[in-house]
């Protein structure tokens, strides 16, 4: 089987001599302090000597684990292998060890290679073998390429190794240290703030949720619904939140945007699997192996997470929501807030997997917020026809199920406010 590789848009990473000045390229961002915020620019400051470069990259990975918005939220302490208190005195393929907030340990391998390379299974065998010890609950590979051989991919998937590849690193942190000599820098990462139309949505929804246990937020695509939901959550201050989305891609995007832009301290768990996701919804991410963070569908794992103290958020696909419901009932807990993105997908047959969240006896929650750009309703005639066939359907104009519309920003209004470009109709002759 041929090697499988996800190529980056940019040119191959090269490592200039360490005494060579690195110019700022046209696509690099510079922070207010003058720090180059481009991951490739940081890599270009590493030594041209392969052994030295590999050791330096281990330090880069340590910095990343401590500063990446998603990873840092889960990690308490990171050691280079030689500095780990239980270091056995020899190299066994593990480069770093991280202790998570729950006390469990993660073994990490850092692979600094040319991005044109596809890492073969043989270069990962010793790490996977050592990391499979009962000492480590989690395993992670961090690499400067998107390429992995087919055999390597199969092994990492079978051994539940999280893969953080070049494309993931490039988009994970907005501002990187300016060079390998400045890893003591912890630059302030930029955070979005609500725009006026989002401030209005936040105000309307938070006010409305004080009077209703269910409500709808209707916002046109491209007007910042994901971040608006984050800011609504921060205003409501729920201890336990469930965020439901229809695809792996949207789950990853939502976790990334919330982690980067939150001003609150919370831990998270992601619930999804290949078996419970419609592949047609999930481009460009089609399998959980492509996600640069751990996921689960184990009700026991979910219940264990829900028992934690502090603010907790579960990000889940709708298709895995039944597993979340099972976990809830294992320990008799409830969610303070459930956010349903792309909520129009919940309409239709009430026995579908998507409808689990509509039933408070399945997913117990104080408040539910249903978000969509395109609310879906059924006419009385369509409902009657479905009833004649013995099929119960839901419609978003049913306030007993979805609650009232607490805020609406239509496509037309978004265009009037210059939030979206006006559309044009093009006719193509064939």
The Cα 269–Cα 313 span in angstroms is 7
Taking the model in full, what pTM does it have? 0.86
Q: Bridge-partner residues for 119, per DSSP? A: 148
Considering Cα of 17, then 19, then 20, then 21, what sign does the dihedral take? Answer: positive
The Cα 24–Cα 254 span in angstroms is 31
Tell me the percentage of the chain whose pLDDT exceeds 70: 87
Q: Say whether pLDDT at 333 is over 80.
A: yes
Q: Edge to edge, what strands does the sheet with 214-219 contain? A: 267-271, 312-317, 240-245, 335-340, 365-372, 214-219, 405-409
pLDDT tens track for 265-282: 999 999 998 655 555 554
- What pLDDT sits at residue 275? 59
Half-sphere exposure of 202 toward its Cβ, with a 13 Å CA cutoff? 19
Rounded to an integer, the average pLDDT of 370-383 is: 86
Residues of the chain by 3-state class (helix, strand, coil), percent to 5: 35, 20, 45
Residue 310 zone, left/alpha/beta (φ > 0; ψ -120 to 50; rest): left
The full 3-state SS of 150-188, as one line of letters, equals HHHHHHHHHCCEEEECHHHHHHHCCCCCCCHHHCCCCCC
Q: Edge to edge, what strands does the sheet with 161-164 contain? A: 75-80, 96-100, 105-111, 138-143, 161-164
Preceding peptide of 63 cis, ω within 30°: no
CB 267 within 8 A of CB 312: yes
- Indicate the fold that domain 196-416 takes in CATH: Rossmann fold (3.40.50)
The Cα 333–Cα 355 span in angstroms is 20
Q: Say whether pLDDT at 11 is over 50.
A: no
- What pLDDT sits at residue 75? 97
Tokens standing for residue 222:
């491209």
DSSP symbol at 279? G
Q: Say whether pLDDT at 203 is over 50.
A: yes
Q: Say whether pLDDT at 262 is over 50.
A: yes
Rounded to an integer, the average pLDDT of 127-142 is: 98
- What pLDDT sits at residue 351? 59
Of 274, 321, 326, 281, nearest to 303 (Cα)?
Answer: 326
- What pLDDT sits at residue 405? 98
Q: Say whether pLDDT at 412 is over 50.
A: yes
In 144-248, at which residue ranges do the beta strands (DSSP E only) sit? 147-148, 161-164, 214-219, 240-245
pLDDT class for 195, splitting at 50, 70, 90?
very high
Q: Say whether pLDDT at 222 is over 60.
A: yes
Mean pLDDT, the chain, as a whole number? 88
Rounded to an integer, the average pLDDT of 43-70 is: 97
**Domain boundaries in the chain?**
4-182, 196-416
Q: Bridge-partner residues for 163, per DSSP? A: 141
pLDDT class for 24, splitting at 50, 70, 90?
very low
Ranked by mean pLDDT, the top range of 206-220, 280-294, 349-363, 376-390 is 206-220
Q: Say whether pLDDT at 160 is over 50.
A: yes
CB 316 within 8 A of CB 242: yes
Assign domain 4-182 one CATH number from 3.40.1350.10, 3.40.50.150, 1.10.760.10, 3.30.70.141: 3.40.1350.10
For the chain, the straight-line distance linking the first and the last C-alpha, in angstroms and rounded, comes to 39
Alpha-helical regions (H) of 10-139: 39-43, 50-67, 125-131
Rounded to an integer, the average pLDDT of 287-302 is: 94
The Cα 429–Cα 11 span in angstroms is 38
pLDDT class for 386, splitting at 50, 70, 90?
confident
The Cα 376–Cα 397 span in angstroms is 8
At 202, give phi and psi (nearest 5°).
-60, -45
How big is the chain by its Cα radius of gyration, in Å?
24
């Amino acid at each position: 089987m041929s090697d499988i590789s996800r190529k980056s848009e940019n040119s191959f990473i090269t490592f200039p001599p360490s005494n060579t000045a690195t110019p700022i390229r046209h696509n690099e961002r510079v922070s207010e302090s003058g720090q180059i915020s481009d991951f490739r620019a940081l890599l270009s400051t590493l030594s041209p000597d392969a052994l030295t470069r590999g050791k330096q990259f281990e330090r880069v990975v340590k910095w990343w684990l401590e500063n990446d918005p998603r990873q840092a939220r889960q990690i308490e302490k990171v050691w280079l292998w030689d500095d780990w208190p239980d270091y056995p005195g020899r190299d066994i393929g593990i480069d770093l060890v991280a202790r998570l907030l729950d006390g469990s340990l993660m073994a990490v391998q850092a692979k600094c290679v040319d991005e044109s390379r596809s890492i073969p299974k043989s270069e990962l065998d010793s790490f996977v073998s050592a990391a499979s010890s009962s000492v480590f609950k989690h395993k992670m590979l961090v690499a400067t390429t998107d390429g992995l051989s087919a055999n390597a991919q199969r092994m990492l998937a079978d051994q539940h190794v999280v893969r953080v590849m070049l494309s993931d690193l490039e988009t994970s942190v907005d501002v990187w240290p300016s060079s390998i000599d400045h890893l003591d820098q912890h630059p302030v990462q930029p955070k979005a703030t609500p725009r006026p139309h989002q401030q209005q949505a936040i105000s309307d929804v938070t006010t409305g949720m004080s009077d209703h246990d269910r409500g709808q937020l209707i916002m046109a695509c491209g007007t910042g619904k994901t971040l608006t939901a984050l800011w609504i959550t921060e205003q409501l201050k729920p201890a336990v939140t469930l965020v439901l989305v229809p695809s792996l891609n949207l789950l990853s995007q939502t976790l990334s945007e919330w982690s980067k832009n939150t001003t609150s301290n919370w831990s998270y768990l992601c619930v999804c699997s290949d078996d419970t996701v419609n592949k047609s919804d999930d481009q460009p991410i089609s399998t959980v192996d492509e996600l640069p963070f751990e996921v689960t569908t184990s009700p026991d794992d979910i219940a264990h997470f829900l028992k934690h103290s502090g603010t907790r958020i579960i990000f889940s696909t709708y298709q895995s929501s039944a597993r979340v419901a099972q976990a809830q009932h294992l320990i008799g807990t409830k969610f303070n807030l459930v956010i349903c993105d792309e909520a129009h997908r919940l309409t239709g047959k009430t026995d579908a997997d998507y409808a689990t969240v509509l039933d408070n006896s399945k997913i117990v929650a104080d408040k539910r917020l249903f978000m969509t750009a395109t609310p879906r309703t059924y006419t009385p005639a369509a409902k009657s026809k479905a009833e004649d066939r013995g099929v119960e359907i839901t419609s978003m104009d049913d306030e007993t199920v979805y609650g009232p519309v607490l805020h609406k920003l239509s496509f037309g209004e978004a265009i009037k406010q210059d939030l979206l470009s006006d559309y044009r109709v093009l006719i193509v002759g064939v």
